[in-house]
Homo-oligomer: A and B are copies of this chain.
Amino acid sequence: MHKEHTLTKNQQIIFDLIDKSPEPMKAYSILFSVQKKGIKAPLQVYRALDKLVEIGKIHKIESRNAFIACHNSSCQVSKATAFSICEICEKITEISSASLSKYLANFKDKDGMKYSKYNLEFFGLCKKCR
């Protein structure tokens, strides 16, 4: 489980917004949405995002510069993320596969190095778009 953090006001506002969103949100679209709640500057958004990523409440989809809430209740997911991305409709889903995460968590490279963290993005066409 995630360690419980008490979110601050800005963090809570921004987390709630991302959590309710059916799709990943971009920073400036978040900014636009929360301006009515008094969050006016990009930095206020980025600071909250940074913290939320750090504590594992949200993840960043690196190839899209977008943020999605974590719905994965297993441990340490913030350090081990996998997503599927539809290249047509841009539907993005967090993949939760025990075998995948086990494989990657145990992966060692040629030098025997193990990694503390990874991010994997799969691309293809979703059911609808095929």
A residues sitting closer than 8 Å to B (CB atoms) are 62-63, 84, 87, 95, 97, 100, 103-104, 107, 109-111, 113-127
Contact = CB atoms under 8 A, between A and B. Distances in A.
13 contacts: A62-B63, A87-B117, A95-B109, A97-B107, A100-B107, A103-B103, A107-B122, A109-B122, A111-B127, A114-B124, A115-B123, A115-B124, A116-B125
Contacts of A114: 124
A86 to B, nearest CB: 10
A100 to B, nearest CB: 6
A118 B109 contact: no
B118 A122 contact: yes
